[in-house]
Amino acid sequence: MKDTRLKFIFYILSAFLLTIMLFTSRDAGISCDEILHYNHSVSVYNYFATHGGDHSALITPVTHLMYYGQSYDNVVTILTRWFNIDDVYGFRNLMSSLIGWLAIFITAIFAIWLKNYRTGLIVLFLFAVSPTFMGHAQNNLKDVPFAFAYIAGTFFTLKFLSGGSKTSIRDSLLLTLSIAFCISIRVGGLLLICYLFFFFLVYYFFKLFNEKKILINEISQKLIWIIGISVAALLLSIVLWPYALQNPFTNILRSYRVMAHYPDTFRQIFEGKVEWSDYMPWYYLIKSMGITIPVVVLSGLITFIILIKKVLNDGKALLYGFIIFSIIFPILFVILEKSHLYSSWHQFLFVYPGIVLLASIAFSTLFESIKKRNFLWVAVVIEFIISFHPLKFMFLNHRYDYMYYNQLVGGLNGAYSNYETDYYYVSQTEASEWLIDYLKQNNITGPVKVKATYSVQWQFRNHPEIETSYFRYEERSQSDWDYAIVVNRYISPYQLKNKIWPPENAIHIIYADKVPICAIMERRSKDDFSGYNALSEGRNKAAIDYYKNVLLVDDGDEMIFYNFAAALYNDGQYLKADSVLKRGLEINPDFEPILMYLGNIARAQNKPDEAIRYYERVIGANRKYFEAYVGLSELLISSDVTRARELLRICLTMSPRYKPAIIALADTYRNSDPEIAKKYDDLANTIN
């Protein structure tokens, strides 16, 4: 097909893809990250609106968002304020889809520059069948814009270097803006400046090696441009970043150190087990990508490797090498640095355009190498066939595209209870819409209390009669609510596998690919809440009565059994308390509070072996349940002091200022080495 015709088709399909993306963004859900970043963008807006008087954007001890430039979030919020846009999140979703399309489009232009329009068309197709990227493009104003800036920066870096002695002012300006935009979103964009210098050195080294001459004027001119581009990009990157504006050099470096070793850690399901993000296996990122990237794209990468000699025959081996480096280096860096990774690979969406680019080049090269027309059509048909799985998922679950898992793990059904699904709480939006309609249809107009596993305040903003607030699902019996919206994040894999969740009092369940991702619950009784209040006030007999009543209508809440046992134990009914706790473990065998309680009871009853087993189970279920380390070490001091100290040191490695562990460690030296014991005592005294 002639290039002019392919060019026409390319732009038509690009426009069509943009239309589809903008259209589907209209009913996109609100993610938990989106809420955090929008709230911070409001603080940033207020900072500039008050000429630096409002410092809330500079004080973020919980979210750490002052270390993010998040410029795209900030720009979108500025637009909503300037144009008085009421549907804030609807507009945000629209703008997220727009920047997502730009990431796709610039990748396709990159492919056309490297090869031809057919390759650009393949880029459009592979992105169109990429549920993870397309899902994030609906509501991720941090990672998707960063992906756009990263691939654009890589593209214009290569254009800048390959221009030889002629430096295009337009390309230099676009490169400057790309780098600035990248850094302004996330400080990791500094990589593009590093790439610029590194690629420059490598490019001219190879040029010297091939041409056997030193191009002093060209090299010096390029170097001056590179320095100017880097300085200009750094200055532009902090324009909408209050924290960096306070002290550009120091605070940018400080932000980089914080982001490289993110201070917060999260528990998540991986390979069927719950683990903390700072203790994920080294291959966490690679496997997360491998089981969520469509097989058609993975097959493109394999094809690239197989056809590497043919791909490199066009004289652009060095350019392809730079692209490969831009993909592999960040992945290797975080693996070697042991950075905290969580929620699949959303932080690494920025390498995906490069992956699609290589896969597209491989397919294009494959099609070119097939001389017989019939065989060519067979290859094209095969590509479409292996694209059916993600296409079907997107068609049936377009609001939840980002939850896609490929055939390597049996799709979303195979991943359920083994890997995270709705880690962004996107389904809470649909759940809120359903609950609002349900209350209206049933004429429930009085004050209603709705709890949710993440904020749904925005979804209920037009319903003042409904009070919304956050709660932890496992602590639901300890708070007052009428209805609850619960996403399957932080639900025990045991409960997911054994269909204990969704609970029996769920009045509506939201599914993605026949997998339950969110439940709307209606409270059947508030006796559990009354029982908790009675227990807290020391009215144990009243608490016992309340818990007996609530178990008649709700026997699927492990915390009820925990608190019921506490009331029984306080009332002297020790055997019954033990029995009730073990009933709680039938619901969730890894419920740490119950395991810890059983260990404490066994210890109080002078059953050290039994207590040790329970404490070990606690640590096995949650390596950061620090109280268990202290309890276990105290039981081991007399029989195995070496292991007791080792346990406490492991505990203090994770939490250096955990005072009970420091005191317990001092106790292990109390008789054998009083001086060491005193040092630990002195350290403990410095902690409030």
Q: Where are the alpha helices (DSSP H) in 386-506?
A: 388-396, 411-415, 427-441, 493-497
340/277: higher pLDDT: 277
Instruction: Confirm if 487 and 454 have CB atoms less than 8 A apart.
Output: yes
Can you spell out the DSSP letters for 376-392? Answer: HHHHHHHHHHTTHHHHH
CA distance 108 to 374: 27
What is the enclosing helix (H) or strand (E) of 203? helix 190-211
CA distance 378 to 224: 51
CA distance 601 to 611: 8
- Express each pLDDT in 281-312 by its tens digit: 999 999 999 999 999 999 999 999 999 988 88
Q: Which long-range contacts (CB under 8 A, 24 or more apart) does 657-662 make?
A: 657/687, 658/626, 659/684, 659/687, 660/626, 660/627, 660/630, 661/626, 661/629, 661/630, 661/633, 662/687
CA distance 199 to 615: 54
What percent of the chain is predicted at pLDDT more than 70?
A: 100
Tell me the mean pLDDT in the region 247-257: 92
Instruction: Confirm if 390 and 296 have CB atoms less than 8 A apart.
Output: yes
Number of H helices, E strands in the chain: 32, 7
Band (pLDDT 50/70/90 cuts) for residue 209 is confident
Backbone angles phi, psi at 50, to 5 degrees: -100, 15
Does residue 165 surpass a pLDDT of 80?
Answer: no
- Express each pLDDT in 82-113 by its tens digit: 999 999 999 999 999 999 999 999 999 999 99
Can you spell out the DSSP letters for 390-419? Answer: HHHHHHH-GGGGGG---GGGTHHHHHBTTB
CA distance 597 to 616: 13
Tokens matching residue 437: 């309609």
What's the DSSP call for residue 50?
Answer: T
CA distance 437 to 435: 5
pLDDT of residue 189: 96
Mean pLDDT of the chain: 95
Instruction: Confirm if 263 and 61 have CB atoms less than 8 A apart.
Output: no
Burial of 211 (0-12, 13-18, 19+ CB in 10 A): exposed
Instruction: Confirm if 239 and 249 have CB atoms less than 8 A apart.
Output: no
pLDDT of residue 313: 81
Q: Which of 165-169, 196-200, 317-321, 519-523 has the lowest mean pLDDT?
A: 165-169
Q: How far is CA 277 from CA 3, 268, 290, 340, 355, in A?
A: 49, 7, 18, 6, 25
Single pTM value for the model: 0.94
List the one residue out of 477, 623, 450, 451 whose CA is nearest residue 558.
477
* End-to-end Cα, the chain, rounded Å: 75
Burial of 623 (0-12, 13-18, 19+ CB in 10 A): middle
List the one residue out of 599, 634, 500 whose CA is nearest residue 556.
500
Q: How far is CA 321 from CA 324, 327, 354, 534, in A?
A: 5, 10, 12, 68
Q: How far is CA 354 from CA 18, 349, 634, in A?
A: 20, 10, 54
- Express each pLDDT in 184-195 by its tens digit: 999 999 999 999
Instruction: Confirm if 256 and 193 have CB atoms less than 8 A apart.
Output: no
Tokens matching residue 392: 């079907």
pLDDT of residue 2: 66
CA distance 36 to 30: 11
Tell me the mean pLDDT in the region 601-608: 94
Helix (H, G, I), strand (E, B) or coil at 445: coil
- Express each pLDDT in 348-402 by its tens digit: 999 999 999 999 999 999 998 888 878 888 888 889 999 999 999 999 999 999 9
Residue with tokens 């090269």, as numbered in its chain? 365
Does residue 208 surpass a pLDDT of 90?
Answer: no
Helix (H, G, I), strand (E, B) or coil at 544: helix
What residues are paired with 487 via a beta bridge? 518
Tokens matching residue 267: 């528990």
Tell me the mean pLDDT in the region 15-28: 96
User: Is beta strand 515-522 parallel, antiparallel or unpaired with respect to 483-487?
Assistant: antiparallel
What percent of the chain is predicted at pLDDT more than 90?
A: 89
Residue with tokens 């070490």, as numbered in its chain? 633
Band (pLDDT 50/70/90 cuts) for residue 1 is low
Q: Which residues 6+ apart lie within 8 Å of 374 measured at CB?
A: none
Evaluated on CA atoms 88, 89, 93, 94, the torsion sign reads: negative
Helix (H, G, I), strand (E, B) or coil at 512: strand
Instruction: Confirm if 131 and 170 have CB atoms less than 8 A apart.
Output: no
Instruction: Confirm if 182 and 230 have CB atoms less than 8 A apart.
Output: no
